[in-house]
Amino acid sequence: MDESIFKLVNVHFSYLNRFSALCGIDMEVKKGEKIAILGANGSGKSTLLQLLDALIFPNKGDIFASGRQLLETDFNDPEFCRKFRSRVGLVFQNPDIQLFCPTVKEDIYFGPLQLGIEKNEAEKRIDKIVGDLGIGGLLDRAPHQLSVGEKRKVAIATVLVIEPEIILLDEPTAGLDPQTSRHIIDIIIEANERGKTIVTATHDLHIVEEIADRAYILNREKQVAKFGPAQELLSDTELLREHNLTHMHKHRHNGQAHIHPHQHLDHHQH
Ligand SMILES: Nc1ncnc2c1ncn2[C@@H]1O[C@H](COP(=O)(O)OP(=O)(O)OP(=O)(O)O)[C@@H](O)[C@H]1O
Ligand SMILES: [Mg+2]
């Protein structure tokens, strides 16, 4: 137990050495944890997930994956690369980046083919995930012809089919209708119950309690403002407001205007 999956020590990243995106992040993810990354637009959530997925590398500071420092040069070794990509999967915030094949079916087959998963096994997994996500009717369609929500479901399928030990999800419920969103959360929770480690960037506070035991809030300075048990962070209304995670409701009662913070936990009372 308590096996370290990722450890970040004073990680800095800037795009093109000009646009600062993360400034000194310390973080640890342990095996089997569910973690949420929260923060305002532009606070660095997607950048953090891309660093964990080794798509980009720190300008300063270190990232350790299972105790071994992640170095760009390691990825020149095809075997290291294959193992890492089999172990860690990222669902991008923008599904258009994830889906690039002429058909949905080819997109879902792409990962297993690339990673050398045996054909029968790949087909078994694909049938299961396509059934679970209810996307059977989309298989012969071109990804660009799908609705945003349909694209997101297909993007999630392209990662889950690889059965990675660590699943990184960037705003997985954005643009999904409430029932589809519920369904995706159930799939994420079920994967975690099977031992998968889950890291989710989201603005959707309604899902945080379910998809996270612990949460990190990033601030505008692109640092960790606070981390701790998800429940604890969620109950700190002032902290959430400070980081654009809750909004003020404005409405009228008996002709008088009222402004109060949006209570994201209201749904538990109904
Ligand atoms: N490709 C890029 N080139 C230059 N700057 C970038 C690029 N991508 C992101 N940034 C900058 O890096 C910072 C962090 O962006 P990032 O996308 O990680 O934030 P985020 O928390 O995921 O935001 P959102 O909630 O809008 O998805 C922002 O200031 C952003 O402008
Ligand atoms: Mg983002």
171 Cα nearest atom in ligand 1: 27
Pairing of strands 166-170, 88-91: parallel
One DSSP character per residue, 132-158 reads HHT-GGGTTS-GGGS-HHHHHHHHHHH
Read off the DSSP letter of residue 73.
G
CA angle, residues 218, 220, 226, in degrees to nearest 5: 30
pLDDT at residue 267 greater than cutoff 50: no
Q: What is the pLDDT of residue 253?
A: 79
Report yes or no on whether pTM surpasses 0.75. Answer: yes
pLDDT computed for residue 270 by the predictor: 45
In Å, what is the CA distance from 162 to each residue of 85, 113, 122, 144, 167? Answer: 9, 10, 8, 22, 10
Q: pLDDT: is 250 or 28 the higher one?
A: 28
Q: Is ligand 1 within 6 A of the CB of residue 50?
A: no
Which atom of ligand 1 is the closest one to the Cα of 49? 18
The string of pLDDT tens digits covering residues 165-189 is 999 999 999 989 999 999 999 999 9
Identify the architecture of domain 4-269 in CATH: 3-Layer(aba) Sandwich (3.40)
What number is the average pLDDT over the span 205-217?
A: 95
Q: The tokens 């690039």 sit on which residue?
A: 100
Pocket test for ligand 1, best of 19, 169, 173 (most atoms within 8 A of CB): 19
For residue 137, give both structure tokens.
């009717």
pLDDT in tens, 47-94: 999 999 999 999 999 999 999 999 999 999 999 999 999 999 999 999
More confident residue, 144 or 257: 144
- Dihedral over alpha carbons 246, 224, 234, 213 (to 10 degrees): 140
Is there an atom of ligand 1 within 6 Å of 21 CB?
yes
For range 100-129, the mean pLDDT: 96
pLDDT of residue 259: 74
* Closest of 56, 116, 121, 55 to residue 82, by C-alpha: 116
- Delimit the domains of the chain by residue range: 4-269
DSSP assignment letter at 76: G
- pLDDT value at residue 261: 67
| Predicted pLDDT of residue 265 | 53
- Residues at Cβ < 5 Å from ligand 2 ion: 45-46, 93
115 φ, ψ (degrees, to nearest 5): -90, 5
DSSP 8-state secondary structure symbol assigned to residue 242: H
Which structure tokens are listed for 82? 């294959």
Helix intervals (H) in 53-194: 78-87, 95-98, 104-114, 119-133, 148-160, 178-193
Q: What is the mean pLDDT of the chain?
A: 93
Better-scored residue on pLDDT, 259 or 148: 148
Q: Could you read off the pLDDT of 219-249 as tens digits, one per residue? A: 999 999 999 999 999 999 999 999 999 877 7
CA distance 10 to 157: 33
Q: In this model, does residue 269 exceed pLDDT 50?
A: no
> Residue 111: what residue type?
G
The pLDDT of residue 268 = 45
CB 38 within 8 A of CB 215: yes
